[in-house]
């Protein structure tokens, strides 16, 4: 089971609990992280009286989440066959290419990864990007668009 640093886990959880984050695409298999994400999904589904994935979409790694008891926790996680899904918060798998040179300086992160997201966590530091805030977390960097958020739920949003 893949473990991540406590700093990275805490940053993901903090972002995932923000009201403007309604979908998360995460390649990690970290037990504690997924347990917390599922708790947030169940909480929102109950508050909004919506199906789990519509209330708060969770997408995992294409390799699956074997050994994690997602359904026993009451949650639902989409396992993508397409590699990685859109998400308001997208943690880019290390195998996926990030091309910051494709950004236009308007804060839209989509051109750099060909996926919709408002917050992007990537391994490595690509420096300052136009109209995007940057926060270093260990070996990872969080880039957040300074534009108004876009709904990036791959099943029910404006992708």
pLDDT tens digit sequence for 35-65: 999 999 999 999 999 999 999 999 999 999 9
**Domain-embedded: residue 13:** yes
Question: Which parts of 32-159 are beta strand (E)?
Answer: 57-59, 89-91, 119-123, 132-137, 140-145
- Residue-number span of the structural domain to which 60 is assigned: 6-145
**Domain-embedded: residue 156:** no
The predicted structure's pLDDT at residue 83: 86
Task: Residue 135: name the closest of 107, 4, 126 by CA.
Answer: 126
Q: Indicate the pTM of the whole model.
A: 0.93
Packing angle between helix 6-16 and helix 31-48, nearest 10 degrees?
10
Domain count, the chain: 1
Name 119's bridge partners. Answer: 89, 144
The predicted structure's pLDDT at residue 123: 94
Name 129's bridge partners. Answer: 132
Q: Which residue has the tokens 């917390």?
A: 36
**Domain-embedded: residue 151:** no
The predicted structure's pLDDT at residue 158: 38
Q: Which segments in the chain show pLDDT lower than 70?
A: 1-2, 156-159
The predicted structure's pLDDT at residue 2: 55
**Domain-embedded: residue 71:** yes
**Domain-embedded: residue 153:** no
**Domain-embedded: residue 1:** no
The predicted structure's pLDDT at residue 159: 35
**Domain-embedded: residue 158:** no
**Domain-embedded: residue 126:** yes
């Amino acid at each position: 089971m893949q473990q991540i640093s406590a700093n990275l886990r805490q940053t993901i959880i903090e972002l995932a609990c923000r009201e403007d984050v309604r979908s998360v695409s995460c390649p990690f298999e970290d037990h504690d992280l997924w347990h917390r994400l599922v708790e947030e999904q169940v909480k929102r589904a109950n508050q909004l009286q919506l199906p789990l994935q519509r209330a708060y979409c969770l997408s995992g790694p294409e390799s699956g989440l074997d050994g994690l008891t997602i359904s026993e926790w009451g949650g639902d996680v989409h396992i993508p066959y397409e590699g990685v899904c859109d998400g308001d918060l997208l943690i880019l798998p290390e195998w996926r290419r990030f091309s910051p040179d494709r950004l236009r300086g308007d804060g839209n992160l989509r051109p750099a990864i060909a996926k919709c997201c408002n917050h992007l966590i990537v391994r490595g530091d690509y420096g300052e990007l136009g109209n995007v805030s940057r926060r270093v977390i260990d070996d990872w960097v969080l880039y957040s668009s300074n534009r108004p958020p876009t709904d990036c739920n791959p099943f029910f949003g404006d992708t």
